[in-house]
Amino acid sequence: FFFFLCYRALIFPLMIREGKPTPFLTFVLALLFCVFNGYLQGRSLTTYATYPPGWLSNSRFITGFLGWLIGMAINIHSDHILRNLRKPGETGYKIPRGGMFEYVSGANFFGEILEWFGFALACCTIESFAFALCTLFILGSRARQHHK
């Protein structure tokens, strides 16, 4: 979880090549959201969540963890494809190809949604499920706009 938080909030923005500049306020708000959500998820897991002995070998945890891991891999790979769509100095719209883009037009969004639903299944907390739902609604609407 911490790795992806760092990836999404710090590493990914630094890896973006030329393009439209991101307004500083947008960057700060996104960073604050990631930090706040990370705090809420971490606090929920360390303070309020209780798990029975053997939870790490439970099928819900294993399925959720695999969903989270596969979603993160799809997300990171899709981000890589998107970052490399255009050659330096090139502009214009390009349709991404390869990876999950062969099956869904918003592969990066799909990966992140899968990731957070996997996380929610592995954690089985109301906070993780709420974040997964928010991710679905926010990224789902963005994916729909991108598809159109």
Q: Give the range of the structural domain holding residue 67, as residue numbers without chain letter.
A: 57-86+98-147
Q: Is residue 44 part of a domain?
A: no
Q: How many domains does the chain have?
A: 1
Q: List, for residues 41-100, the tens digit of each pLDDT value.
A: 999 999 999 999 999 999 999 999 999 999 999 999 998 998 888 787 777 778 899 999
pLDDT mean across residues, the chain: 87
Q: How confident is the model at residue 3 (pLDDT cuts 50, 70, 90)?
A: low
Q: Is residue 14 part of a domain?
A: no
Q: Is residue 6 part of a domain?
A: no
pLDDT of 22 above 90: no
Q: Is residue 80 part of a domain?
A: yes
Cβ proximity of 64 and 119 under 8 Å:
yes
Q: List, for residues 126-136, the tens digit of each pLDDT value.
A: 999 999 999 99
